Amino acid sequence: MTAPLRGLRVIELARILAGPWIGQTLADLGAEVIKVEAPEGDDTRRWGPPFVTRDAPDHDGDGGRETVAAYFHAANRGKTSVTCDFADPGQRDRLLALIDTADVLIENFRVGALARFGLDYETLARRNPRLVYASVTGFGQTGPRAHQPGYDFLIQGMSGIMDLTGDPGGEPQKVGVAWIDIMTGLYGVIGIQAALAERDRSGRGQQVDLSLLDTGIGVLANQAMNHLVGGATPTRLGNAHPNIVPYQVFAVADGHVIIACGNDRQFVALCAVLGMASLGTDPAYADNAGRVAHRNTLCARLGDGLRGWAKAALIEALDRAGIPGGPINSVAEALADPQVAARAMMIAPGGIPGLRTPIAFSRSRLDLDDGAPDLGAPI
C-alpha cells in the first residue's frame, strides 16, 4: 500500500501552527514536504519547555546536538528542512529553482510581504503556472483588515467563540488548544486538494486564500444559525447545549459525567435508568423543544436522580441502555483509553512520541515513518 499523495511535492514557507499543520497533514498523506525555514528556524522550535534533545547534523558548530520544543514536533512530522535567507540573492535563486519543481506552496506571511523577494503568487505563477499557492493570514488577502496580523487567541475573541465558551457567570474562555489555527490548517488541506483536482481539468494552479477569521466565523455552525434565524445573540451556557436538553455535564457521587441525549428515545431511556420513568412520560418533556423550554426545571430533577450514582456504574448503565454518556478525561487519561490504542493514534516516528493524522483508508496508508526534521542546512 502507498500513501494517497505520494509524488506530490510541497514547499512550506510557513511558521508556527496553521501553515505547518497543512504541511504535516499533507506529509502524513504521502506528499514530499520541504520546510523552508529562516536561518534561526521556526519560532516554535524554541516554544518550550518541554524540549526534546537529540543527535542532529552539525551545521553550526553545536556539536551535533539539537534541542527543540515539543510544540515544534507536534506540527512538523514527516518533513525535510532547509534554511534560506530571502535577502541573499544566491539562496533566493536556489529557492526559486526548487519552487519551479513544486506542486504546492504554503506560506503564512503578512499580505504583500513576499512580493519584494519575488515569492508572491503572481510572480511564482508566471514561473510555474501549475503551482497551487496556499496563503494563510489572519484576515485574508482582501478587506479592511487584510494587512493586520492575526493570531489564534485574538481571532477566538473576534470570532465570537470565546463569548460562547465558559461559565455564564465567569469570563469568556478560549478553547484549550489553538483551535482556529488547526481548523484553518484543515481547511487549507481541503482547499489545496480541491485546487489540485481542478488543476487536473484546467492544467493551471491557483491561489488558495485562507483567513483565520473566515475560519472562526465559518465554524460557528448552529450558533450562527441560531442568531441568523432566531435573531437572539447566543451566550455562554457553560457545558449545556443551546439546542438540545439534556446534553451537559452532571454531578455524580464521585465526580462528573457527560450525558448527551440527542433524541426522545434516549431521554425516555435515561429516565428509566434513573428510576424516574414518570419523568420520561411527562407531556412537558415529551419532545426536545419542550425540554429546552423547561431546561432548568428538568435538569434540576435529573441532577437529583444522578447525584447518588458512581461514575463507572452510571456510564456502564447508560451504555447498556444505548444512551450516550461518558467521563471527563484528563489528557493523560484520554491518551490511555483502550479505544485510542486500538485505533493506533499514538505513534513514535524517529523515537519521538506523537499523534497520527486521524484518517484511515481501506486501501491506502499514511506515511508515518519520519519525525519532525532537524534544522536544515542553507539551501
- The distance between the two most distant Cα atoms of the chain, rounded to a whole number of Å, is 80
Tell me which residue of 254, 298, 252 sits closest to 276, measured CA to CA: 298
In angstroms, the CA 269 to CA 320 distance is 10
Tell me which residue of 220, 221, 230, 191 sits closest to 106, measured CA to CA: 191
Kindly write down the DSSP assignment for every residue of 132-157, as one continuous string.
EEEEEESS-SSSTTTTS---HHHHHH
Q: What kind and span of H or E run contains 239? A: none
Of 181, 214, 367, 374, the active-site residue reads 181
Long-range contacts of 196-203 (CB under 8 A, 24+ apart): 196/8, 196/103, 196/104, 196/132, 199/130, 199/132, 203/129, 203/130
Could you count the other beta carbons within 10 Å of the beta carbon of residue 33?
A: 30
Residue pair 242/288 in contact (Cβ under 8 Å)? The answer is no
Helix (H, G, I), strand (E, B) or coil at 129: coil
In angstroms, the CA 86 to CA 119 distance is 9
Q: Annotated catalytic, 181?
A: yes
Residue pair 366/343 in contact (Cβ under 8 Å)? The answer is no
Residue written as cell 498523506?
29
Could you count the other beta carbons within 10 Å of the beta carbon of residue 105?
A: 27
Catalytic residues: 181
